[in-house]
Amino acid sequence: MMKISQQRLAALCSILQALTPECRMMITDQGWTTRAVDAANVGMVMVNLPKASFEEYTETDRFELGMDVEKWKNMLDVMKDPKDTITIEHPKGMSKLTITDGKYIYTHNPLDPETVRKWPNAPTLQLPAAVVISAAELQEVIRAMLVIADKARLTVSKDGLAIDAEGATDRLHKVLEVQDTAASVLPEVPLSSLFSLDYLKELARGMKSAGNITVHAGQDHPLRFDFDADGIEAGYLLAPRLEAD
């Protein structure tokens, strides 16, 4: 049996739904883990929900759950009180799950994991720069950039993280405040890459329940976001764009 707050489970769904409508969730006696990429292989989400983030966790089985993120989100919109506890039970030998908040009891048939894309291989990327910024500020800045453009250049330098967007006739430049200088690794030589604001907008929305996020970057390299959102250890990887000719 696994008991978790509605708020935390909803946050998990929000983090996943930024990139994918479904995933293979590995459930063990240590908690829940998943990795998934979006259909275009541009973005990847990694989530670890440890046992300690549950209110009660007595699950001893190891099994893979085909998670239909949309359906879970819809169920949580019915069991909508963030203070409620959601109880998830997986009877031994059964494929179905029972999901309840005490008022509603769903007997849920998860997706067949074989029909869901396998986990991507663990990435090995050298991202020399790291900067800690506010998730809320990032979301706000991306919204500002989207007014004029559909892509933005992220540059990490000793001044911090700067975002630049240039549309047909307009430009916007914004430097985000470094939230934790000690945990940041700011390079002497600026490192920058170009990214789709469409993707950045969704990732920023998925990270909205995090306080601070650590952005790992390189020159024309993917971007990695690491964050902790209400007890959920999560990360995103985003592939860069090439500069148009």
Which residues lie near another protein (CB under 8 A)? 17-21, 37-44, 69-70, 73-74, 77-78, 117-125, 196, 198-199, 202, 222, 237, 239-244
| Bridge pairing between strands 2-5 and 85-89 | antiparallel
**Minimum distance between the CB of residue 56 and another protein, rounded to whole angstroms?**
28
Measured distance CA(112)–CA(132) in Å, rounded = 38
CB of 23 to another protein, least distance (A): 12
Q: Are 5 and 53 in contact (CB under 8 A)?
A: no
Beta carbons of 103 and 80 less than 8 angstroms apart: no
Buried b (16+ CB within 10 A) or exposed e, 34-48: bbbbbeeebbbbbbb
Sign of CA dihedral 70, 198, 26, 56: negative
The nearest distance, CB 16 to another protein, in angstroms, is 10
User: CB of 42 within 8 A of CB of 196?
Assistant: yes
Q: Is 25 in contact with 65 (CB distance < 8 Å)?
A: yes
Considering only CA atoms, which of 199, 229, 200 is closest in space to residue 14? 229
Report phi then psi at 115, rounded to 5. -90, -5
Shortest Cβ distance from residue 115 to another protein (Å)?
12
Nearer to another protein, 69 or 86 (CB): 69
- Which is nearer to another protein, 40 or 182 (by Cβ)? 40
Q: How far is the CB of 194 from another protein (least distance, A)?
A: 8
Our CB check for another protein shows the closer of 18 and 65 to be 18
Name the minimum Å distance from CB 150 to another protein. Answer: 10
Nearer to another protein, 59 or 164 (CB): 164
When the beta carbons of 189 and 242 are compared against another protein, the nearer one is 242
